[in-house]
Amino acid sequence: MKKALALSGGGSKGAYTVGVLKKWVQEEGREYDIVAGASTGALIAPMVLLNDIERLENIYTSVRTTDIYTLRPLTKILSSTSLTSTLPLWNLIKKHLTDEKVAHLHSLGRGAKKKIIVIGCYRLADSTINYFHTGPKNLRLPNSKILLPDTVITSVNSAENPADCLRRAILASSNQPAIMPTLTVPRESRWQYVDGGLRDALPGEICAALGADSLDAVMLTLAPIDRSAPPYKKYRGIFNVAAQALNSLIKMSSDRSMSATSAAFAPGTVHVVRPESPIIKDSNKFIIKEMKAALAQGYRDAQ
């Protein structure tokens, strides 16, 4: 039996995911053959396979917004692909996902009982989803027919520098377009990538395609609501307008991903935890007090 874990995007709401994993992985000892993530889920995925939930808890209860991105000066925005620079996040990824840790992830992908991480990235030029993974170049997909025809599967081991490729895939998957920069993955590629949540907010379907028999999942968007009468709110500033537009697209992607994931697995084999009420006011802001509360809520909901 092959078991998978799928982690959705959600910015600072990722603290809720860490709370769930504190219960599932750290306390209950759950193990997974496949860990797939998009956006903030991509940042979390490697540490799950490395069984380092404590590190995740430290990160998601200590980082501030300036540890993730900084606003660009107006003069540089006009010649850039984004309003912000995510160099702080890149430095954070390199600090915690060292070459030694990446090497260990690759060794897990080559073992007799392969364990891999999968990172979903949105390819800007043709709107396809590319799943970068730590498995072998010739990784088998027993149930590939359930995926959309334009789906791309790429091993980071096919890049000139696999460790750099994995880290760039994680960063690209986390970068909301226009707000955060596009990124070529691997570095030598011409393809630009952004937030994987735009196409597949919860990468559960790819887990089924890779042969998973059961799935645990954390979805950070709320359950679908009646959108015929949305609450009124006036958005001010380019950043806030862009963020709201992207959040709306990701909510629609979340609904599609949930439906596709449910259809890809046998009844009773998918276990999803998601918040029932708002947990963080603005997922693009990393406020320690809010993230600590979200982590505690995730831990309770995982009981």
CA distance 21 to 166: 22
Element (H, E) at 69: none
Task: Choose the weakest-confidence range: 70-79, 141-150, 230-239.
Answer: 230-239
Element (H, E) at 137: none
**Residue 159 DSSP symbol:** S
Q: What are phi and psi of 291, to 5 degrees?
A: -70, -35
Count CB atoms within 10 A of the CB of residue 289: 8
- 243-266 pLDDT, tens digit each: 766 677 677 777 888 889 999 999
Quote the percentage of the chain above a pLDDT of 70.
92
- 174-186 pLDDT, tens digit each: 999 888 999 999 9
Task: Choose the weakest-confidence range: 30-39, 162-171, 209-218, 252-261.
Answer: 252-261
pLDDT at 91: 98
pLDDT at 231: 63
The answer, yes or no, to whether residue 204 has pLDDT greater than 70, is: yes
Mean pLDDT of the chain: 91
pLDDT at 19: 98
CA distance 54 to 25: 10
pLDDT at 173: 97
- Spatial CB neighbours of 24, under 8 Å, sequence gap ≥ 6: 30, 216, 302
Surface-to-core class of residue 190, CB atoms within 10 Å of its CB (0-12 exposed, 13-18 middle, 19+ buried): exposed
Element (H, E) at 191: none
The answer, yes or no, to whether residue 226 has pLDDT greater than 50, is: no
* Confidence tier at 225 by pLDDT (50, 70, 90): low
pLDDT at 238: 66
pLDDT at 233: 67
Surface-to-core class of residue 56, CB atoms within 10 Å of its CB (0-12 exposed, 13-18 middle, 19+ buried): buried
- 78-111 pLDDT, tens digit each: 888 899 999 999 999 999 999 999 999 999 998 7
- Spatial CB neighbours of 117, under 8 Å, sequence gap ≥ 6: 34, 35, 36, 37, 45, 46, 48, 49, 105, 133, 134
